[in-house]
Chains A and B, each alone.
Chain A
Amino acid sequence: MRIVIIGNGIAGTNAARHIRKNSEHEIIMVSEETLRPFSRTALMYVYMGHVKQENTEMYEDWFWEKNRINRVQSKVLSVDTAGKSLQLSNGNTLTYDALVIATGSKSNKFGWPGQDAKGVQGLYHLQDLEGMERYSPGLQHAVIVGGGLIGIEMAEMFHSRHIPVTFLVREKSFWDLVLPAEESAMINRHIHEHGIDLRLETELKEIQTDADGRANAVITNKDEKIACGFVGLTVGVSPNIDFLKDSGIEIQRGVLVDEHLRTSVPDVYAIGDCAQLRQPQPGRRPIEAIWYTGRMMGQTVARTICGQTTEYIPRLWFNSAKFLDIEYQVYGDIPGRTPEGITSLYWEHPNGKKAIRINYETESKTVTGFNLMGIRYRHEVCEKWLLGKTKLEEVLQNLSLANFDPEFFDAYESALVQQYNQLNNTNLTVKSKRNLNLVTRFLQRS
């Protein structure tokens, strides 16, 4: 059986790896972007000179040969589901017995005048990185539009090369649809601390170009003109599935898939950023364009293709990011605005760069989520508490089990518990210090 995977991002490569683990099927991975799968999330570190492109590659070349995962660099122009074949831009036709669509996302553009000018782009593909490199020499000023994770990455990238950045954010505060107010304010401060010109409640109206068709200024919704030689459009991403329009595969925003990641056409599956779940799990969105879900979907679809039909059940929600120097981790449910019936216990370090937030149901005191800024918590421990519907006071007393900061770092669990004690007239204490043995025993306990 020949399995063709379109796309070699984390979803596609993880699917390939696990298909090989589970079977002897022929595997062909097609990508327009690159022959060597790399970690997309690391593009910023290549530009900043922290790592080289080759350091971001997922495996050495021998890995693909040893695991007999064939790689083809070409664009897929169209899919013929009746004939079970793909038309490639290199002129070849590729037949398949099973097809996995893992083409990821493309950067959004919302019809702004000048959005297709030179020096205007998003950051998603390797080619986007090359674009940034091309326009960086001699660049005097860059404008980034869109206050999300990629926007702040792009701002940091230019900042690292001493290129001044203006950062236009539509919302009242950075990423405040996701981050609660305090954390969002912390990042606002941190962006300013780095000398990045953050403009809140400011939107892009128009991009102006010079005689060569290269961006030379933006006009904001406040009719301010900002001169710049580069405009980063980082207002989200959407599934990269234009080539499927005439394939007969049912698509909406993404490729529609059932709980087994099967599309409307037999033997065709879709995973990762480009997949849209018909019935997402409660509390989850139909399209989740993040690294971890792509990885899990790859593993799940591999099982199904290899005969062990497996439902895609994303476990507990988690995510992480790094905003300039401040690391961020989330486990469970921490909405930007705390809903009715949920109480938020929030502690912030006096330096304003570290914070712990624990959300819990006001009535039952069941813990529902953790948010960490500048502090590391252990995934498995938080997950076990959340899935086990653990009560707040038990979590607080054992909070050191979750601490994942390096040795000798100050631990702030006691400070958080003290704050809780003051608010609630309780007298809780943190039972132990950070200790791997206790963690191991806690995790092994059923």
Chain B
Amino acid sequence: MNTATTDTSLALVQTPLMRTSQKLSIAVGGIGLLIILFTWVTRHSFASPGITLSVALLLMAVSVGGYAYSEYAHLPEGIKNNGVMFRSLSNRGIVAYLTGILLTGFYVCLYWYSEYLTGLIQLFDPLSQFMRHKAADQWFVYGSFYTFGVLVLGAKFIYKYRHNRYQIIRTISVMFFQLMFAFLIPAWMLMMNQPEFYFTYFWPLKYDYLFPSTISWLTSSGTHLGIFLVFWGAMMTLIATPTLTYFFGKRWYCSWVCGCGALAETTGDSFRTLSDKSLRAWKIERYLIYSVLVFITITTILLWVNSYMQGGLLGTFSLSVSKTYSFLIGSMFSGVIGTGFYPILGNRSWCRFGCPQAAILGIIQKYFSRFRITTNGGQCIGCGNCSTYCEMGIDVKAYAQRGQDIVRASCVGCGICSAVCPRGVLRLENGSADIFDRTTITKL
């Protein structure tokens, strides 16, 4: 097809769609990024680390704000996906690959070569001292960037979807849980000389929270807090997860609370169209995600058996299984591939193909939940917007065309399919009336 859309990989967006104000915004953010990169590489900052970091982050925030403002402000509120398929960043152009390389490189340094991050870590020292009374380390740097991304791009997301209250409330929720429970409270606990604990992550996503070593670490202090934390982790995994998922589907966690979800829904929003919608991808998804779940379950059992036998039966075997899991799944899959490859594989590849938490929630969602997406009779025109914007790669359209409810293990309930539908066909709902034949009801 002879279109103007074919050869745009070198342009950030197709030229007529880029406003001057947007180019300026990108330049401002670029300066912020350069300041950080320069300090990272040279270990030399222009001003004190605190000021340098503040200036750089401020520039980047202003950049995102300015870009979003000039993209959406002059138009009446509504779905504004104009040019998504033409942009280099959101359409696997050269900007996407460069971003992917930068992110992947960052993750590799983070997990295995943190000595290369010294320049970067120094920048965060004042903030870390202030928040935690401790020197910064690579994980603090990571957490800070992560939270910054969720907050700044979350604000952009809210502005983009300002006509849609479901999106606004959901995004405020992920921003809140990331900021409070995955950033401020753990730092504050450290400051108070308590264990650095993440209340919004639990086994099997935060797999070590049910490992014998973690439990003995938490309880060893002998405080009530430690016992409470063990109790909290177990309760979330065994009681809260099935109960909440029964009522609301896996969305209560994946697109409302989870930090991985928070990053995917905000920072990763530009990449949601990149998920593979093919049947083949769905097959791979099912093999992979349940394999990871089996892997972590066996690992955990082995560790407990080993702990019970005091290493008598298995020796160091279970520890090496646990290390393998941590390397392959904990670091490679969830970090390097899951986030580093956002611009290539989409923003939910970890959540879709790897996350064992999502696997459990998905099984509950599929078989015992009141949640489903209902379709509106015969109104679907098969335009494909819903499937295109489904970050989990569900071919929503295939169901909508047949007037069939959508009950899929992978659906995180982000609600974007419903938002982008131009004919009002999709609605996220909870209902118990027909809970056991949700999947079989076909209308019209």
- Which positions in A face B, CB cutoff 8 Å? 10, 39, 41-42, 45-46, 48-53, 55-60, 62, 126, 130, 133-134, 136-137, 160-163, 190, 193-194, 291-292, 295-296, 318, 320-322, 324-325, 327, 329, 372, 376-380, 383, 404-410, 435-437, 439-441
Contacts and interface: CB of A to CB of B under 8 A. Distances in A.
Contacts of B376: 376, 378-379, 404
A13 to B, nearest CB: 10
A410 B431 CA distance: 20
A376 B424 contact: yes
Interface residues of B, number: 60
Nearest to B86: A49
Given A50-B82, A162-B17, A437-B433, A318 B378 contact: yes
Contacts of B430: 436
B240 to A, nearest CB: 21
Nearest to A439: B431
Contacts, number: 167
Contacts of A291: 381
A380 to B, nearest CB: 5
Contacts of B443: 380
Contact of A53 (B1, B77, B432, B433): B1
B315 interface: no
Contact of B384 (A56, A161, A435): A56
Interface of B: 1-5, 14, 16-17, 75-79, 81-87, 163-166, 169, 273, 277-279, 374, 376-379, 381-385, 387-388, 398, 401, 415, 418-420, 422-424, 427-434, 443-444
Contacts of A60: 278-279
Nearest to A42: B383
A133 B385 CA distance: 20
A407 B428 contact: yes
Nearest to A156: B82
A133 B4 contact: yes
Nearest to A434: B429
Nearest to B398: A59
Contact of B419 (A46, A49, A296, A406): A406
B374 to A, nearest CB: 7
B162 to A, nearest CB: 12
Query: Which of B384, B422, B427, B443 has the most chain A CB atoms inside 10 A of its CB?
Result: B384
A126 B387 CA distance: 21
9 contacts: A49-B85, A55-B387, A162-B16, A292-B379, A324-B78, A325-B77, A380-B444, A436-B429, A440-B434
B384 A130 contact: no
B382 to A, nearest CB: 4
A50 B169 contact: no
B77 A50 contact: no
Contacts of A162: 16-17
Nearest to B374: A436
Contact of B388 (A50, A126, A321, A372): A50
Contacts of A329: 379, 423-424
A360 B430 CA distance: 32
Contacts of B81: 48-50
A321 B76 CA distance: 18
A296 B443 CA distance: 14
Contacts of B5: 49, 133
Nearest to A290: B381
B56 to A, nearest CB: 31
Given A49-B86, A324-B76, 9 more contacts: A49-B87, A52-B388, A58-B382, A378-B376, A380-B377, A406-B428, A407-B428, A409-B164, A437-B433
Contacts of B434: 440
Given A133-B2, A160-B82, A406-B415, A437 B432 contact: yes
Nearest to A163: B16
Nearest to A136: B4
A407 B166 contact: yes
B388 A55 contact: yes
Given A133-B3, A134-B2, A161-B16, A327 B424 contact: yes
Contacts of A325: 76-79, 163
Enumerate the 4 nearest inter-chain pairs by beta-carbon distance, A residue then B residue, closest first.
A379-B377, A325-B78, A436-B431, A376-B424
